[in-house]
């Protein structure tokens, strides 16, 4: 299948911005399940400097700088992505506590590389409260894949999807306490729970198909950027689950980037210099199946 993704971001400033520097994670990466066939990022006003590079996590990053006064910023990213069905074998029934112990002591390359995803990250602390919430899913000897699937199901069933209830700055502890949020919050919560059990989990940003094929249910979060959790199962790979919708990640999920948490893969962020004032932010995402 092929999809076209158009991600539009617009800032309108009440006072002119004299200089702005930004980075964007808007161009999808290629993985074993997808290939980015084409991608472009168009910026208005035209930037004085624009460059693309690959970051530490292997994500595509666009840096740009505007050095003349401007009262608006428009960023339009257009991508064409080819996606394959995730035809993979069932995960092995490896007990989660066996994986935890291996992550602590093994010198195998796969596990050494994954240890950074066990540690706390700026937006995802590892706390006793998260361990307590995770514990019912991670009973002794339970297969890791089964435990993570159960955790995702519980988050879906016990938390309310409510746009506007949180912001990008809402701590995971508040999400856990108030039991509401959006896909970013549920991904952070799942990651924190998994890490609190001594396991490796990473944050994945991407998109969902906006209009599903006939007979398929539209998934929550399809009209904006989406996020989910990915957990390492040694010797098998990374298991991707969408706790917002309580589904495994499939060929309707389009990957843009992955990192420790949202801060590593923010779609658009930067620094501006101005006299102050407010701004209006408008974001729109369209994902269209073209084949």
Phi, psi of 156 (to 5 degrees): -60, -40
CATH fold for the domain made of 2-84+266-289: Immunoglobulin-like (2.60.40)
Q: In this predicted structure, what is the pLDDT of residue 274?
A: 81
Give residue-wise pLDDT tens across range 103-124: 999 999 999 999 999 999 999 9
pLDDT for residue 220 = 66
C-alpha torsion 230→233→238→240, nearest 10: -40
- Residue at token pair 């409510």: 162
Phi, psi (deg, nearest 5) at residue 211: -115, 110
Distance of CA 70 to the CA centre of its chain: 30
Q: Which stretch of DSSP H or E encloses residue 56? A: none
Confidence (pLDDT) at 224: 78
pLDDT in tens, 20-31: 999 999 999 999
Average pLDDT over residues 203-228: 81
CB 285 within 8 Å of CB 122: no
Tell me if residue 178 falls in helix, strand or coil.
Answer: helix
Give the whole-angstrom CA distance, residue 82 versus residue 289: 10
Pairing mode, strands 2-24 and 34-44: unpaired
pLDDT at 208: 92
Break the chain into its structural domains and give their ranges.
2-84+266-289, 96-249
| β pairing state of 201-208 and 226-233 | antiparallel
Distances (CA, A) of 102 to 132, 148, 255: 22, 17, 28
Q: Is the pLDDT confidence value at 215 over 90?
A: no
Are both 2-84+266-289 and 96-249 of the same fold?
Answer: no
pLDDT of 19 reads 93
Q: What is the pTM assigned to this prediction? A: 0.94
8: pLDDT confidence band, cut at 50, 70 and 90?
very high
Per-residue pLDDT, 279: 86
Q: What is the mean pLDDT of residues 201-218?
A: 84
C-alpha distance from residue 207 to each of 60, 61, 154 (Å): 16, 17, 23
- What pLDDT was estimated at residue 222? 63
Q: With bands split at pLDDT 50, 70 and 90, how would you rate the model's confidence at 202? A: very high
Tell me the CATH architecture of domain 96-249. Answer: Roll (3.10)
pLDDT grade for 186, boundaries at 50, 70 and 90: very high
Residue 161 has pLDDT above 80, yes or no: yes
DSSP letters, 62-102, are EEEEE-S-EEEEEEEEEEEEEE-----PPPP--BHHHHHHH
Q: Which residue do the tokens 């910026």 mark?
A: 43
Instruction: State what percent of residues in the chain have pLDDT above 70.
Output: 98
Nearest by Cα to 235 from 134, 121, 108: 108
What's the whole-number average pLDDT of the chain? 94
Among residues of the chain, what percentage have pLDDT more than 90?
85
């Amino acid at each position: 299948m092929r999809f076209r993704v158009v991600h539009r971001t617009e800032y309108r400033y009440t006072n002119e911005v004299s200089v702005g520097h930004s980075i964007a994670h808007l161009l999808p990466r290629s993985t074993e399940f997808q290939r980015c066939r084409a991608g472009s990022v168009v910026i208005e006003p035209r930037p004085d400097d624009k460059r693309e590079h690959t970051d530490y996590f292997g994500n595509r990053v666009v840096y740009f700088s505007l050095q003349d006064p401007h009262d608006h910023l428009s960023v339009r990213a257009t991508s064409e992505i080819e996606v394959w069905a995730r035809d993979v074998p069932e995960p092995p029934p490896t007990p989660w506590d066996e994986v935890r112990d291996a992550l602590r002591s093994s010198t195998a390359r796969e596990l050494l590389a994954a240890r950074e995803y066990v540690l706390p990250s700026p937006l995802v602390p590892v706390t006793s409260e998260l361990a307590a919430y995770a514990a019912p899913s991670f009973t002794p000897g339970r297969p890791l894949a089964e435990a993570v699937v159960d955790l995702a199901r519980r988050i879906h069933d016990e938390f309310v999807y409510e746009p506007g209830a949180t912001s990008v700055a809402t701590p995971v502890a508040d999400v856990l306490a108030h039991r509401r949020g959006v896909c970013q919050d549920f991904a952070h919560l799942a990651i924190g729970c998994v890490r609190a059990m001594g396991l490796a989990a990473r944050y994945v940003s991407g998109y969902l198909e906006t209009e599903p094929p006939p007979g398929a249910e539209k998934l929550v979060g399809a009209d904006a950027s989406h996020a989910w959790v990915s957990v390492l199962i040694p010797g098998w790979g990374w298991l991707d689950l969408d706790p917002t919708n309580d589904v495994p990640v499939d060929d309707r999920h389009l990957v843009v980037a992955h990192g420790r948490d949202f801060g590593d893969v923010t779609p658009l962020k930067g620094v501006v210099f101005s006299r102050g004032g407010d701004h209006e932010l408008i974001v729109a995402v369209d994902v269209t199946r073209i084949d």
